[in-house]
Amino acid sequence: MRVHSREKIEKLKDARKKGMSILDLVKEFSMPKTTIWHHIHDIKLNKSQIRLIKSGQGGSKKRSESQWRDAKMEAERLLKSAEKNFYILFASLYWAEGNKKGFIFTNTDGKMIKLFILILKKYFHIQQGDIKITIRVFSNLNEKRCVRYWSEILDFPKKEMRVYMNDGGTKGKAEYGICRITVKNGGCLNKLITSLIYAIYNEVVLPP
């Protein structure tokens, strides 16, 4: 079964031939790095293209270091604010169920997901348009029932929710499937939450 269209693969290869880095290709085509590499690893770049990519990587490293410094400072500020408990709660939830790359939170508990999104919007000022919801429905579940449940409890339009039907015959124990929350361009937010987690750990666990 073809996952990506031939047209998309050709555009991917053309972009690589023009000197686009693998990380930029991942962002542009929304494909895993391993998939990108599979299709472009035999494409040879000239020396100037290679130098340009390496220079960009150097810049990316500096930006990342700067973002981490900013995230650490912001985390310390948030933990001194009047809303400290909400930030601790959110960081704890993400520590348990979040993804280390990007900003992805997954769970089967509707109330937990609802609380997570509420804090995300109210205290981190994330707009609904930047939140993507994907529902994984197993073969033993009713798709319409699952989508209706998540749409109602999260107050999220059905048409804006993606549904992934598990086609491997796996039966899920969760009554309404699995809900995944993704924040668009969530790299900086991920750094902030990670910094919050470290700050909380150091405050609670490490001796003064």
Beta bridge partners of 135: 163, 179
Our measurement of the distance from residue 109's CA atom to the centroid of its chain's CA atoms, rounded to an integer in Å, reads 19
pLDDT at 28: 85
Pair of tokens at residue 40: 């472009």
Q: Report yes or no: 150 and 179 within 8 Å, Cβ to Cβ.
A: yes
Strand order in the sheet with 161-165: 104-107, 178-183, 131-137, 161-165
pLDDT at 58: 58
pLDDT exceeds 90 at position 92? yes
pLDDT at 167: 60
Q: Report yes or no: 94 and 193 within 8 Å, Cβ to Cβ.
A: yes
> Could you tell me the pTM of the whole model?
0.68
Nearest-angstrom CA–CA distance, 64 and 78: 21
Range in 50-59, 82-91, 194-203 the model is least confident about = 50-59
pLDDT at 55: 66
pLDDT at 26: 86
pLDDT exceeds 80 at position 91? yes
CA distances from 175 to 46, 108, 135, 136 (A): 54, 8, 12, 11
